């Protein structure tokens, strides 16, 4: 089949038509022949073996049994009646039960004849039963050709109501596979298939929908998962190679006076080994004639800001400007404050540009950037606006970059004739499998050690019944001169309820900690920016001992004297958010504490999240657990999950296949960087047709 034929609208498939096509598109995203072929079963009904009744386990599994119906009766119940049959084989017996269609079934059942039954078993009061089994005389069963492993496809209530059943979808896919015959082209190089002993594309698609055996199914699923991950890795590696070979980078030739002065005279603490290693990697990039695109991962409080400042000084020493872009105004202000404190003793001015900066105050910033009197700009998305023009931007640092879309990041490239060096920073540790998939085109650095003197935060889980003890502990900490955060959830779907919880909590804390002995700040999303800033500054200055807030303080507030973080309704937060919030304390030399408050009733996932937080401070371990609980799309947000809209592979469960795919993609590009070999023609064609590559090229266009 010609590749374009797979783009035929599904409405043209026999038996579908416009009405069902519209329904399939809305409910399952199936719009073309290709979408249908790549709509894979989420499980299989295995009819490849027969069970004996004595072999049944209390698992509720679907099983197939050969036996005879020896007795049948109608049993009265509170509402209506049920039909019950005794079914026996040579090892035991179970009951078959029908709650509807009873007369029709009773009229057709033949006692003591061999039957094949199939269904899900229940276990109650010491015996097994099977409600509404599939039932067929053994003589008829043996006379038919059948699929021994039946596919079960994802579905919705609307599809079922409109008669688009599992059997119907299965028929359409079977018909489409027969129609295509042997015309589905191969998409993997022969050498790769031979090395991994992979089945061909056509066979893999047949076997994943209609497997002949568990072994065939396993081989076919491996092949299709490998292919999906292989092409994503090819995309990311091709992008990385193109950037390094085609995009000329600004060369920072020297380590100059500003960098040296800061390192020798203004560094607030000695750099850790991890920070030194990362700076060495960055310096190598900046002097390499290629554009730097490096992801800097560092857990909360690991000292990424110092690395960013020293990288900025390298840009200034070589005659270039630098900017740092943050996703929120609070975080941008925090960066501006901390960078200014570090650099103003050296006479270096740092500009701040956010959405709330008034028009009249923007003019000197714009002029300063154009005449080079302003070398460093820190801000939010406002920095990306076209009106913001640099004279010679050499370095762009993007903080918490997963909150920025592709188009927004691409704008940064156009701020200079030669694209600036890019340093992407995140305090959200990214599991290795996800980093390979989302950021496989970037060079990755990790700061994996905390600055000296930092003590790990002690984390405990408490329920509402422990509240008075928690209040007592807070009093003790305040008596020692410490400060306390109390954080409430803010989830848009229940904003009014969250606001009520916050205000109720504020009143409760105000009663327990009354003025004038105690002062309390409150910060939430409904306040005006200037009121928020006023309350935050009171807390920063130590004028209030307790800050009651929503998650606006997740990032951007740095108060070394704050030693207690109380997180209310902690079960409603994600792991990453809990870890970020905990990172607001433990920033000074004192022992700090994180108290996770929750109700007594918890879901299994919520319990796992809270137990993980209590057990470890390791951001990467927390991120791995978060990835397993939530999946990659939810973890990284919708802006990043497009590239991982996988049909069959799973970057968490299939991490070994992912590593294998990356290895073979690296080998292929090492031997044929331009994919020019005749044997790689199908690879080039496949890449040109893939949606994921349209997104990839957005980065480098």
Number of domain units in the chain:
5
Taking the C-alpha atoms of residue 25 and residue 16, their distance in angstroms, rounded to an integer, is: 12
Q: How far is CA 69 from CA 66, 84, 110, 117, 263, in A?
A: 10, 10, 7, 10, 87
In a domain, 626, yes or no: no
Taking the C-alpha atoms of residue 534 and residue 272, their distance in angstroms, rounded to an integer, is: 35
Place of tokens 């000695």: 270
pLDDT value at residue 520: 94
pLDDT value at residue 163: 78
Please compute the mean of the pLDDT values over residues 8-27 and round it to a whole number.
91
Query: Of 384, 419, 447, at which residue does a domain stop?
Result: 447
In a domain, 452, yes or no: no
Please compute the mean of the pLDDT values over residues 86-110 and round it to a whole number.
92
Taking the C-alpha atoms of residue 134 and residue 290, their distance in angstroms, rounded to an integer, is: 66
Query: Of 95, 129, 146, at which residue does a domain stop?
Result: 146
Q: How far is CA 137 from CA 56, 113, 134, 416, in A?
A: 21, 7, 11, 77
512-567 confidence digits (pLDDT tens): 999 889 999 988 877 887 888 888 889 988 999 999 988 766 555 678 889 999 99
Please compute the mean of the pLDDT values over residues 105-111 and round it to a whole number.
91
- Between 639 and 607, residue with greater pLDDT: 607
In a domain, 29, yes or no: yes
Range of 209's domain?
A: 188-246+654-679
Q: Does residue 635 have a pLDDT over 50?
A: no
Q: Domain check: are 261 and 341 in the same one?
A: yes
Q: Does residue 638 have a pLDDT over 50?
A: no
Contact 67, 114 (CB under 8 A): yes
Q: Domain check: are 272 and 326 in the same one?
A: yes
In a domain, 110, yes or no: yes
Q: Domain check: are 225 and 104 in the same one?
A: no
pLDDT value at residue 397: 93
* Phi, psi (degrees; rounded to nearest 5) at 37: -60, -30
Contact 230, 661 (CB under 8 A): yes
Q: Does residue 387 have a pLDDT over 90?
A: no
Greatest mean pLDDT among 82-91, 383-392, 580-589 lies in: 82-91
In a domain, 162, yes or no: yes
485 closest CA partner among 465, 457, 449: 457
Residues 6 or more apart whose Cβ sits within 8 Å of residue 595: 459, 460, 462, 470, 473, 564, 565, 566, 567
Q: Domain check: are 288 and 421 in the same one?
A: yes
111-128 confidence digits (pLDDT tens): 999 999 999 899 888 889
Place of tokens 């954080």: 487
Q: Does residue 353 have a pLDDT over 60?
A: yes
- Model confidence at 432, pLDDT cuts 50, 70, 90, reads low
Please compute the mean of the pLDDT values over residues 593-598 and round it to a whole number.
96
- Model confidence at 145, pLDDT cuts 50, 70, 90, reads low
In a domain, 433, yes or no: yes
Contact 307, 278 (CB under 8 A): yes
Q: Domain check: are 278 and 354 in the same one?
A: yes
In a domain, 83, yes or no: yes
Taking the C-alpha atoms of residue 325 and residue 405, their distance in angstroms, rounded to an integer, is: 13
CATH number, position 62: 2.40.50.140
pLDDT value at residue 700: 35
Residues 6 or more apart whose Cβ sits within 8 Å of residue 258: 313, 316, 317, 346, 348
Q: Domain check: are 72 and 128 in the same one?
A: yes
- Between 30 and 692, residue with greater pLDDT: 30
Query: Of 420, 447, 474, at which residue does a domain stop?
Result: 447
Q: Domain check: are 196 and 180 in the same one?
A: no
Q: Domain check: are 295 and 443 in the same one?
A: yes
396-405 confidence digits (pLDDT tens): 999 875 555 5
Please compute the mean of the pLDDT values over residues 673-687 and round it to a whole number.
87
Cα Rg of the chain, angstroms: 31
Contact 223, 198 (CB under 8 A): yes
124-143 confidence digits (pLDDT tens): 888 899 999 989 999 888 87
Burial of 514 per CB tally in 10 Å (0-12, 13-18, 19+): exposed
Place of tokens 């700076």: 279
Contact 27, 158 (CB under 8 A): yes
Please compute the mean of the pLDDT values over residues 260-277 and round it to a whole number.
90
- Model confidence at 636, pLDDT cuts 50, 70, 90, reads very low
pLDDT value at residue 366: 93
Q: Domain check: are 336 and 423 in the same one?
A: yes
- Between 694 and 506, residue with greater pLDDT: 506
- How many of the other CB atoms lie within 10 Å of CB of 251? 14
In a domain, 634, yes or no: no
Q: pTM for the whole thing?
A: 0.64
Greatest mean pLDDT among 323-327, 390-394, 593-597 lies in: 593-597
Q: Domain check: are 592 and 516 in the same one?
A: yes
- Model confidence at 663, pLDDT cuts 50, 70, 90, reads very high
pLDDT value at residue 496: 65
pLDDT value at residue 656: 86
Percent of the chain at pLDDT exceeding 70: 88
Q: Domain check: are 580 and 434 in the same one?
A: no
CATH number, position 395: 3.40.50.300
Edge-first strand order for the sheet with 483-487 is 458-463, 593-598, 562-567, 483-487, 546-549, 520-523
Q: Domain check: are 473 and 378 in the same one?
A: no
Q: Does residue 60 have a pLDDT over 90?
A: no
């Amino acid at each position: 089949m010609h590749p374009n034929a797979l783009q035929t609208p599904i409405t043209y498939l026999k038996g579908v038509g416009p009405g069902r096509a519209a329904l399939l598109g809305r409910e399952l995203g199936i719009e073309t022949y290709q979408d249908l072929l790549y709509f894979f079963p989420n499980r299989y009904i295995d009819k490849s073996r027969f069970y004996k009744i004595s072999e049944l386990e209390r698992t509720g599994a679907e099983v197939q049994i050969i036996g005879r119906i020896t007795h049948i009766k109608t049993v009265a119940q509170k509402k209506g009646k049920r039909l019950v049959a005794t079914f026996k084989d040579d090892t035991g017996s179970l009951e078959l039960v029908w709650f509807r269609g009873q007369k029709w079934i009773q009229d057709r059942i033949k006692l003591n004849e061999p039957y094949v039954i199939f269904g899900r078993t229940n276990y109650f009061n010491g015996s097994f039963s099977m409600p509404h089994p599939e039932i067929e005389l053994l003589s008829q069963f043996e006379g038919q050709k059948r699929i021994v492993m039946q596919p079960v496809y994802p579905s919705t209530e609307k599809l079922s109501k409109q008669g688009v059943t599992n059997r119907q979808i299965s028929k359409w896919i079977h018909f489409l596979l027969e129609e295509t015959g042997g015309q589905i082209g191969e998409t993997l190089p022969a050498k790769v298939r031979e090395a991994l002993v992979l089945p061909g594309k056509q066979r893999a698609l047949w076997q994943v929908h209609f497997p002949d055996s568990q072994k065939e199914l396993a081989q076919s699923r491996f092949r299709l998962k490998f292919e999906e991950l292989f092409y994503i890795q090819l995309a990311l590696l091709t992008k990385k190679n193109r950037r390094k070979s085609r995009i000329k980078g600004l060369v920072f030739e020297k380590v100059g006076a500003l960098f040296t002065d800061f390192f020798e005279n203004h560094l607030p603490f000695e750099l850790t080994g991890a920070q030194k290693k990362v700076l060495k990697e960055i310096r190598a990039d900046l002097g390499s004639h290629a554009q730097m695109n490096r992801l800097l991962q560092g857990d909360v409080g690991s000292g990424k800001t110092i690395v960013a400042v020293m990288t900025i000084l390298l840009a200034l020493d070589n005659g270039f400007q630098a900017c740092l872009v943050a996703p929120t105004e609070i975080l941008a202000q925090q960066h501006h404050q901390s960078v200014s404190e570090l650099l103003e003793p050296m006479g270096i001015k740092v500009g701040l540009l956010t959405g709330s900066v008034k028009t009249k105050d923007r003019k000197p910033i714009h002029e300063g950037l154009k005449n080079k009197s302003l070398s460093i700009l820190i801000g939010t998305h406002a920095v990306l606006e076209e009106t913001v023009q640099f004279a010679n931007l050499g370095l762009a640092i993007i903080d918490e970059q997963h909150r920025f879309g592709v188009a927004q990041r691409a704008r940064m490239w156009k701020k200079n004739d030669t694209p600036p060096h890019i340093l992407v920073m995140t305090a959200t540790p990214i599991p290795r499998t996800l980093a390979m998939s989302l950021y496989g085109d970037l060079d990755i650095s990790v700061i994996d050690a905390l600055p000296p003197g930092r003590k790990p935060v002690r984390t405990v889980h408490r329920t509402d019944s422990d509240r008075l003890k928690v209040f007592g502990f807070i009093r003790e900490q305040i008596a020692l001169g410490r400060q306390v955060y109390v954080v409430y959830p803010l989830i848009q779907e229940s904003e009014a309820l969250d606001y009520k919880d916050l205000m109720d909590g504020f009143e409760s804390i105000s009663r327990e900690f009354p003025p004038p002995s105690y002062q309390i700040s409150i910060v939430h999303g409904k306040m005006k920016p200037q009121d928020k800033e006023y309350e935050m500054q009171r807390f920063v200055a130590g004028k209030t001992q307790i800050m009651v807030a929503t998650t606006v303080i997740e990032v951007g507030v740095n108060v070394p004297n704050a030693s207690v973080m109380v997180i209310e309704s902690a079960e409603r937060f994600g792991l990453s958010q809990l870890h970020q919030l905990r990172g607001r304390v433990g920033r000074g030399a004192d022992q700090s504490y994180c108290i996770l408050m929750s109700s007594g009733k918890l879901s299994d996932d919520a319990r796992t999240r809270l137990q993980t937080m209590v057990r470890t401070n390791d951001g990467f371990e927390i991120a791995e657990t978060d990835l397993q609980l939530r999946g990659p799309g939810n973890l990284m947000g919708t802006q990043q999950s497009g590239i991982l809209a996988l049909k069959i592979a799973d970057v968490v469960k299939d991490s070994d296949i992912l590593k294998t795919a990356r290895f073979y993609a690296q080998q292929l590009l090492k031997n044929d960087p331009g994919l020019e070999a005749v044997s790689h023609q199908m690879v080039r064609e496949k890449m040109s047709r893939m949606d994921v590559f349209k997104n990839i090229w957005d980065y480098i266009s």
